[in-house]
A and B are shown apart, each in its own frame.
Chain A
Amino acid sequence: MPIITMREAISQALWEEMERDERVFILGEEVGVWGGTYAVTRGFYDHFGPERVRDTPIAEGTIVGAANGAAMAGLRPIAEMMTINFAFLAMDQIVNQAAKIHSMFGGQMTIPVVIRAVGGGGRQLGATHSHTPDVIFAHFPGLKVVSPGTPYDAKGLLKAAIRGDDPVLFIENATLYQAKGEVPIEDYIVPIGVSNIQRAGKDVTIVTYSKMLQVSLQAAELLAKEGIEAEVVDLRSLRPLDMQPVIRSFKKTNRAVIAEEGWRSYGIGAEVAVRVYEAALDYVDAPIRRVAQKEVPLPYNRHLEQLALPQVQDVVEAVKGVL
């Protein structure tokens, strides 16, 4: 099986879906002539042309809004937010239009739109450009929120998002673009809303996704050297949230750590922990611990920024805290 980067996996998914379905097109800032600010759509403009790879003005609300309208009319747009921080300017179109229109009109209209957004901190971009606000979007029924942690999942989940009839926010972590993994040549999808055991273990359950999946896998390797076998569950999708693999794992290990890159308050850790307590209180051997970003606007200085972001060692220590 070929080993490719996350960037290549996402690019392949887009390319293959555009080849497969004429209704699929891309719109966003610098997606065309520039080739994508993260080079995900490099070569697309020349191959598919300006009608299907549409450079837009800098107007996020209207990028997503036009994508929503085109989706209502039967196309399958992929709207790119250059970074998820700019998606705040499109908040109304994402959570109040895309997420509501199917239900609000009694099922008459569908919004088969995919909104790709790049998020995450750790690149010294300062507070406004470094958000990991995934959980905010996951609050809204009607929207699906997906964030892959491996190239395999990125390609399969993106294809599922494009082929599905619901609006999907597809969140990519910029620091993962160079992450490598095996991706088959043949066509496949990864269904949205299915959590996945990424590493088997018996001593503790680490629940995570996206960038923190890679961080957690590294922590698990360090722990293994000390004889601690962590089971790592990748949520992959925040809405719908598939808790079954988490609960199954927890009933086996009786201990859990939840690792996310965003802030702790009102976060995924809180949601997952409560769901574990609700479903498996009798299996709890230690209070669940959360690993998350320090509660500050992310600073520019490299050392301060890394101090604020959750690290491998934070996961290791949290695991030891529940053992």
Chain B
Amino acid sequence: MERDEMLRLYHQMALIRRLEEAAASLYQEGKIGGFLHLYIGQEAVGCGVVSARRPEDRVITAYRDHGIAIAAGMEARTVLAELLGKATGCSKGKGGSMHMADVSLNFWGGHAIVGAHLPLAAGLALADKYNKTTAATICLFGDGATNIGYFHEAMNLSVVWELPVLWVCENNQYGMGTSIERASAVPEIRQKAHGYGMPNARVDGMDIVQVRKATEAALKHVRTNGPFLLEAVTYRYRGHSMGDPERYRSHEEVTKWEKNDPIGIFHKYLIKNKHATEAELEQSANQAASEIQEAVRFAEESPDPAPEVLFSDVYVKEVG
């Protein structure tokens, strides 16, 4: 990675962290409705994976999507406006936290039914293969999604049809409150690829440098040889969603992982290898904080969708 790229990613991770903290506050103030799933702790995965793509590569993810949206190039103000249900949000206030997308950024959502977007990803990749382009589709999902039928159907189909899709499992070790040991027949998600004869890798998802490197290698494989499963082992510091009593894990466990913080790890890496100075990183982090402040202001000042749009976009148009 070039130095500029590393600094850009450091800033992006800090931006996501501040964004999610702001979202948590706005939720507690009652300004965000519905469910809110925070990406805090998993930043190295989204930023590392998505930064390895070419512009023509598609990205699609599950409902823990704010960080992926930022990594795909969405502005924080657009994410926050959607969280507040505003007309200026990426989905015009009709999607909310779990349904962020920006097709112009090749970011295809934000999908809230566990596993349902894996077949969609297969279809996106099928379209690129059909049109004989060199684009790949990157599909992110959690460890919980690997226990549902959709995962197995989509793995199988992607191999049978040799689809250019990179399956990325963000293994944060819990499907809601059920640990992977209690829900999955095998402890490592990558093992599930073996049943489909699919090449695979497991990477430390707290280390963005490793994630980026593994993704580059995986994408190279995907473009020439078809599907690949990359498992990134990570951890979410906050609950599954905002209403999570967290009875399923100990404080000690969370603290242990917090010492392994992805931003902290990258910080140390950049300093140790003299890619950046403390002052530069501090400035980057401060800038992220003020960007989020400004984005929150934008979102709060944005108008609600007009009542007239209630019936718009249900159908495209009539034919004939």
Contacts and interface: CB of A to CB of B under 8 A. Distances in A.
A281 B150 CA distance: 49
Contact of B317 (A71, A97, A165): A165
Contacts of B127: 69-70, 72-75
B273 interface: no
Contacts of A142: 314-315
B154 A65 contact: yes
A61 B130 contact: no
A37 interface: no
Interface string A291-307: 00000000000000000
Given A57-B153, A105-B109, A109-B108, A96 B116 contact: yes
Contacts of A73: 58, 123-124, 127-128
Nearest to B90: A106
B120 interface: yes
Contacts of A106: 89-95, 313
A21 interface: no
A92 interface: yes
A277 B128 CA distance: 51
B121 A108 contact: no
Nearest to B152: A59
Contacts of A67: 123
Contacts of A104: 91, 94-95, 99
A163 B320 CA distance: 9
A289 B241 CA distance: 50
Contact of A164 (B89, B131, B319): B319
B120 A69 contact: yes
Given A105-B101, A141-B314, A166-B316, A69 B122 contact: yes
B156 interface: yes
Interface string B142-184: 0000000110011011001100000000000000000000000
B313 to A, nearest CB: 4
A193 interface: yes
B73 interface: no
B316 A110 contact: yes
Contacts of B121: 69
A109 B103 contact: yes
A67 B108 CA distance: 15
Which residue among B93, B99, B124 has the maximum number of chain A CB atoms within 10 Å of its CB? B124
Contact of B120 (A97, A103, A190): A97
B250 interface: no
Counting chain B residues whose Cβ lies within 8 A of the other chain, the interface size class is 35 or more
Given A103-B313, A106-B92, A166-B316, A70 B123 contact: yes
Contacts of A197: none
Which residue among B90, B94, B110, B316 has the maximum number of chain A CB atoms within 10 Å of its CB? B316
A191 B320 contact: yes
Contacts of B130: 25, 51, 70, 75
B60 to A, nearest CB: 8
A192 interface: yes
A160 B130 CA distance: 23
Interface in A99-155: 101-110, 112, 141-142, 144
A12 interface: no
Interface in A162-183: 163-166
Contacts of A103: 94, 313-314
Contacts of A96: 113, 116
Nearest to B127: A73
A13 to B, nearest CB: 14
Contact of A65 (B120, B160, B313): B120
A56 B118 CA distance: 16
A72 B120 contact: yes
Contact of B316 (A57, A77, A93, A102): A102
Contacts of A190: 320
A112 B113 CA distance: 21
A104 B121 CA distance: 18
A164 B131 CA distance: 21
A240 to B, nearest CB: 8
B116 A92 contact: yes
25 contacts: A57-B160, A62-B122, A62-B154, A64-B119, A66-B119, A68-B119, A70-B123, A72-B120, A72-B127, A75-B130, A77-B123, A103-B314, A104-B94, A104-B95, A105-B103, A106-B90, A106-B91, A106-B93, A106-B94, A107-B92, A108-B102, A112-B316, A144-B315, A166-B315, A191-B319
The 4 closest A-B pairs by CB, nearest first: A69-B123, A65-B119, A73-B127, A106-B92
Given A72-B108, A102-B313, 11 more contacts: A61-B119, A61-B149, A65-B123, A67-B123, A69-B121, A72-B124, A73-B58, A73-B124, A106-B90, A108-B91, A165-B317
